[in-house]
Amino acid sequence: MHRLYALALLLPALALAQTTPAVEQKLAELDAAVKAAQSAGDNAWMLTSSALVLMMTGPGLALFYGGLVRRKNVLGTMMHSFILMAVVTVLWAVVGYSLAFGEGNPFIGDLRYMFLNGVGAAPNADYAATIPQQTFMIYQLMFAIITPALISGAFAERMKFSGMLLFTILWTLLVYFPMAHMVWGKGGFLNAYLGGKVPCFDFAGGTVVHITSGVSALVCCLYLGKRKGYPTEPMKPHNLVISFIGACLLWVGWFGFNAGSALGAGSLATSAFVATHFGAAAAALGWLLVEWLKTGKPSVLGGISGAVAGLVAITPASGFVAPFPALLIGFAAGIVCFFMVALVKHKFGYDDSLDAFGVHGAGGTLGAILTGVFATKAVNSALKEQPLGLIDGNGGQVVNQLIGTAIAWGLAIVGTLVILKICDLVTGVRANAENEMDGLDISMHGEEGYNLEA
């Protein structure tokens, strides 16, 4: 009997031994199938996110800004956003992706991906191991498009179109690509994951997108000077209805911007999605609250401006913070940005026409710093068990965030000034007085936004 039992026990083992190569093959197939399934899931979310981020520029930002200007400038203002969807795309394909994400040195990428050489279906494990590098490339392109478009809020209603084109091309090359490389590129000076000297947390572009664009916006409006008649002539927004639609499209698109920055469809994307939404909601309330107290009425423009300010501030923090700190960051941004545009701007008298600095510069700076306070390993485990922000006990991170912020400010100020000087010599930057009076729609583009007789 014992022998029989022993034999019975041995049989499966024998069978296993005989079929080992087949089993191994099966396991390998399963392994590949699991990887393919994850890749398909991640890729689906990343392509969706790419489309969402493009939607932020057109029509989101184009409508938001377009409604805030006077009616004679609505098309010119929308064009400032739209043209970048075309121009930056070409720039990105030729050299931009490589300068931002090629390994290069700590400050700028090399030319290994020039003309998208080698950027295909195979993932780039340094950045996103589960999606084609081509997906990563097109996703990052959408950020390069919206960033210079944000600046246009500061020079709206008075910049010459040729000057604007040259300016944004040079700005993308000399400010955006280096900054993106420093923060997100392999070996970048501020990269927190891939060997940066000063690890700075910027999940979706607080320094790269909002500080660079917002601070450059301030430089632009100081350099260009005020619009004719500002601030004595009334310059009311001509259509807050389209601004409202644009702002809500921005809010939705921002889920692609922030949750997409998880570069996959896992729980980190969820957490960033939640933080993003909470930040926007709290900021809308923060802005409306102070506005109501100060001016006596809560305005729709205040509500949507607050939401955008919150989205800006939560951007660097979105993949690092828990939901309640996200509410706090948003609420603070709503209040701070209100005071920036309603008081500080008027006190100093600069004509930041659509408040690109007041919202993106100030909100981005606040968000970058607060990321260092509220970042926690409970949310983001990419750095293993290391404490992340001040609430994890790593106060030094706040200093790192300040360094990252200072570099972004410095690069934006110096870069923008130099570029404006160049543009002034080559094309000129400011529309002449007559063109400005006629409006940019007719003088720059030869058409009108509202042809009521048609």
Partner 1 sequence: MKKIEAVIQPHKLEDVKQALKAIGIDGMTVTEVRGHGRQKGHKEVYRGQEYEVDLLPKVKLEMVVPTERSEEVIKTLVASARTGKIGDGKVFVFDVLDVIRIRNDDRGDSAL
Instruction: By CB under 8 A, name the binding residues for partner 1.
Output: 231, 234, 236-237, 294-295, 297, 299, 301-302, 305, 338, 341-343, 345-346, 355
From 215, 404, 192, 371, select the one nearest 279 (Cα to Cα).
371
Take residue 412 and report the two structure tokens written for it. Answer: 């934006």
Cβ proximity to partner 1, 234 vs 446, nearer residue: 234
Check if the beta carbon of residue 289 is closer than 8 Å to that of residue 333: no
Please report how many Cα atoms fall inside a 13 Å half-sphere around the Cα of residue 150, on the Cβ side.
35
From 178, 205, 177, 181, select the one nearest 191 (Cα to Cα).
181
Q: Could you tell me the smallest distance in angstroms from the CB atom of residue 303 to partner 1? A: 12
Q: Could you tell me the smallest distance in angstroms from the CB atom of residue 200 to partner 1? A: 31
Residue 200: strand, helix, or coil? strand
Cβ proximity to partner 1, 68 vs 182, nearer residue: 68
CA distance 316 to 154: 22
Cβ proximity to partner 1, 112 vs 294, nearer residue: 294
Cβ proximity to partner 1, 301 vs 328, nearer residue: 301
Q: Could you tell me the smallest distance in angstroms from the CB atom of residue 80 to partner 1? A: 19
Q: Could you tell me the smallest distance in angstroms from the CB atom of residue 313 to partner 1? A: 17
Q: Could you tell me the smallest distance in angstroms from the CB atom of residue 357 to partner 1? A: 13
Cβ proximity to partner 1, 136 vs 338, nearer residue: 338
Q: Could you tell me the smallest distance in angstroms from the CB atom of residue 438 to partner 1? A: 22
CA distance 20 to 18: 6
> Which residues have C-beta within 8 Å of that of residue 224, sequence separation ≥ 6?
155, 158, 159, 429, 430
Cβ proximity to partner 1, 41 vs 237, nearer residue: 237
Bridge partner list, 191: 200
CA distance 366 to 374: 12
What's the CA angle centered on 113, arms 109 and 114, to 5 degrees?
95
Cα torsion through 177, 280, 275, 318, rounded to 10: 20
Cβ proximity to partner 1, 3 vs 297, nearer residue: 297
Q: Could you tell me the smallest distance in angstroms from the CB atom of residue 345 to partner 1? A: 8
